[in-house]
Amino acid sequence: MELLNGRYTLDGMDLLNLASEFGSPLYVYDTATIERQYRRVEKAFQGVNLKLKYACKANSNQAILKFLNKLGAGLDAVSIEEAELGLKAGFSASEILFTPNGVSFEEIKKGVELGLVINIDNISILEQFGNEYGGTVPCCIRLNPHIAAGGNQHIQTGHIDSKFGISVHQVRHIERVVKSCSIRVEGLHIHTGSEILDSSVFLRAAELMFDAAQQFPDLKFIDFGSGFKVAYKEGDVTTDIEELGNELTERFNSFCKQYGRELELWFEPGKFLVSEAGVLLVHVNIIKQTMATVFVGVDSGQNHLIRPMFYDAYHEIVNITNPTGKQRIYTVVGYICETDTFGWDRKLNEVREGDVLAIKNAGAYGFSMSNNYNSRLRPAEVLIHDGRALLIRKRESLEDLLRNQVNIDI
């Protein structure tokens, strides 16, 4: 988002004009940022056989999926529905890694029927998989490294109390199941969580993976998940992708020589690719001053962007209507009948009723985690691509809320 000649733009498109044309609240994404982030990872790891699997849960709009497919990405799907969305967007089944958690074996069987790459994260499912498909369908195994990634505890997935993955200390148990059921293990997977700042976290996980890999002679890839941290405010420390690329590439290539053949190195970036590509535009409904606080009430809430309330996540907020106004302190809140705050005690250029605010870093886990609480409607989505603003999701209507309700006489 840039301020050009007194107007805020995203990839050259005037955001106030978009709010006027498409209404608010409104999610706006730009493909230029997505491609820039994608190419950055590619360049950082150009010394290995790299495969990027976009984490669909970050933003599953078909237009986003189609664009990433065009860039050459595969897909990381955590539900059978995400996998089906990926297939509809043009991904081949062999490009989709299916990593569900806590699902029944029936969902795993659906994944096999679709031809997905199956990633198994617990011993029980591994045994069922072996009994059903041993010797015929290969799989990947997700390990829990017992490494805390750092950052928000809600988005760590590799610590000792995490529900994700099979403990690295159970590799011997995995070996027994694999041998007994003649399972062909073609991949190992690890994911420590989001907001990894230090490349040493990846390197520590890598050493655990390389040790475990020696027990599986048929590997084709090792998947390090993701967790690359993006900046949410000025001065934020972020993951140094280039440093990580240099260090992990060297160590991975060394391991491949020891292993006896070249393997593919997989990552599953989601937030890193789409977060900075998106903004949420909201209109100011009211200015409400209390004895202690000046509230800015907007036409959106945690039903559209839950991250601030759910994760205590910081999203920068900008008054794009009044970019040169005097700065004052505001607390920006939503219209949901709950404590529903986008930002506490923020310095914003003077806000007036009717102004438009832009909430930044809204491209990931915004719309995909949205809901209809309070029977509020979900917003429209617009994609900026090749100098055009394209509507990629219509704003919901009351009919959408009623669509699956069954009208009965009581």
Q: Where are the beta strands (DSSP E) in 145-291?
A: 166-167, 185-190, 221-223, 264-267, 278-289
Question: Distance (Å, rounded) from C-alpha 405 to C-alpha 226?
Answer: 39
- Determine contact, residues 85/64, Cβ cutoff 8 Å: no
CA distances (Å), 253 to each of 207, 210, 256, 341, in order? 13, 11, 5, 47
- Determine contact, residues 68/38, Cβ cutoff 8 Å: yes
Question: Distance (Å, rounded) from C-alpha 349 to C-alpha 322?
Answer: 6
Q: What's 326-393 look like in SS3?
A: CEEEEEEECCCCCCCEEEEEEEEECCCCCCEEEECCCCCCCHHHCCCHHHCCCCEEEEEECCEEEEEE
Residues written for the chain: 410
* Sign (positive or negative) of CA dihedral 57, 58, 61, 62: negative
**Closest to 120 in 3D by CA, of 161, 178, 66, 176:** 178
Residue the block writes with tokens 């994944």: 111
139, 140, 256, 337: the active-site residue: 337
Question: Distance (Å, rounded) from C-alpha 185 to C-alpha 171?
Answer: 13
Q: Active site includes 256?
A: no
Q: Which distant-in-sequence residues (6+ apart) come within 8 Å of 111 by Cβ?
A: 80, 83, 98, 100, 118
Residue the block writes with tokens 């399972």: 183
Positions marked catalytic: 337
